[in-house]
A and B are shown apart, each in its own frame.
Chain A
Amino acid sequence: GNSVTQMEGPVTLSEEAFLTINCTYTATGYPSLFWYVQYPGEGLQLLLKATKADDKGSNKGFEATYRKETTSFHLEKGSVQVSDSAVYFCALARQAGTALIFGKGTTLSVSS
């Protein structure tokens, strides 16, 4: 079945460090892929998405490229800030009109 695997956290970084959060997926066909961010005590916010192979989603300095050959959608940011501290979820669209399948989330903690 379809599934998403993302790296275990927590990830602890200093401000301005480079960030990578790995995400791989298992799916039939080519599902749309997403990264969501959850700040403490809040709901999930869409961070970026990619709908087909080789697409790069980007937002707020974060990027992720849809790699069908490695079935991956790793999240990267060149220079993290304290305000980026949050939980990050990778997700895929199971099929049109149904729910997303989420990874377990990766907690990022950035210190100044």
Chain B
Amino acid sequence: SQTIHQWPATLVQPVGSPLSLECTVEGTSNPNLYWYRQAAGRGLQLLFYSVGIGQISSEVPQNLSASRPQDRQFILSSKKLLLSDSGFYLCARQGAQETQYFGPGTRLLVL
């Protein structure tokens, strides 16, 4: 089966600290992968997507970055977190007929 893992599940970080969120996918090769952010009371905002190793497209300019060092690994990073980075971060992979399948998410609170 195709499974998406996200780590960590929950994170509390001070403003100005770095960030690294990891997403790994099992059971599929060369998937399109996506990072979304869900802020409290809002919908989903696409942050980055990747169609292959080393290929990253950014949808929204901000202090976040993404990398894809391996086929099934997608990492979201920041050098210095802002209060506005708080939210629920979701990784997704693309399946058939444009369907997207989501991981369990990482809840980030920046204080």
**Chain A residues close to B by CB (< 8 Å):** 31-32, 34, 36, 41-46, 49, 51, 89, 93, 96-100, 102-105
Question: 3 tightest CB-CB pairs across the interface, nearest first?
Answer: A93-B98, A104-B43, A43-B102
Q: List 23 A-B contacts (CB under 8 A).
A: A31-B98, A34-B99, A41-B107, A42-B104, A42-B105, A43-B6, A43-B102, A43-B103, A44-B44, A44-B90, A44-B102, A46-B99, A51-B97, A89-B44, A93-B97, A97-B32, A97-B94, A98-B49, A99-B34, A99-B36, A99-B59, A99-B100, A100-B98
CB distance from B67 to the nearest CB of A (A): 18
A99 proximity list for chain B (CB < 8 A):
34, 36, 46, 49, 59, 100
Interface SS of chain B: strand
Instruction: Give Cα A25–Cα B79 distance, bound, in whole angstroms.
Output: 37
Q: How far in angstroms is the closest Cβ of chain A from B60?
A: 12
Q: Report the bound CA distance from A11 to B107 in whole Å.
A: 25
Query: In the docked arrangement, what's the CA distance between A34 and B59, Å?
Result: 21
Do A104 and B99 have beta carbons less than 8 Å apart?
A: no
For B32, list chain A residues within 8 Å (CB): 97
- Smallest Cβ distance from A27 to chain B, in angstroms? 12
B interface residues, Cβ below 8 angstroms from A: 6, 32, 34, 36, 42-44, 46, 49, 51, 59, 90, 92, 94, 97-105, 107
A100 touches B51 (CB 8 A): no
Chain A residues with CB under 8 A of B92: 44
Whether the Cβ atoms of A43 and B90 lie closer than 8 Å is: yes
Report the Cα distance A100→B99, complex, angstroms: 8
Complex Cα gap A93–B32 (Å): 14
Q: How far is the CA of A36 from the CA of B105 in the complex (A)?
A: 15
List the B side residues contacting A42 at CB < 8 Å.
104-105
A32 contacts which chain B residues (CB < 8 A)? 97-99
The answer to whether A103 and B103 have CB atoms under 8 Å apart is: no
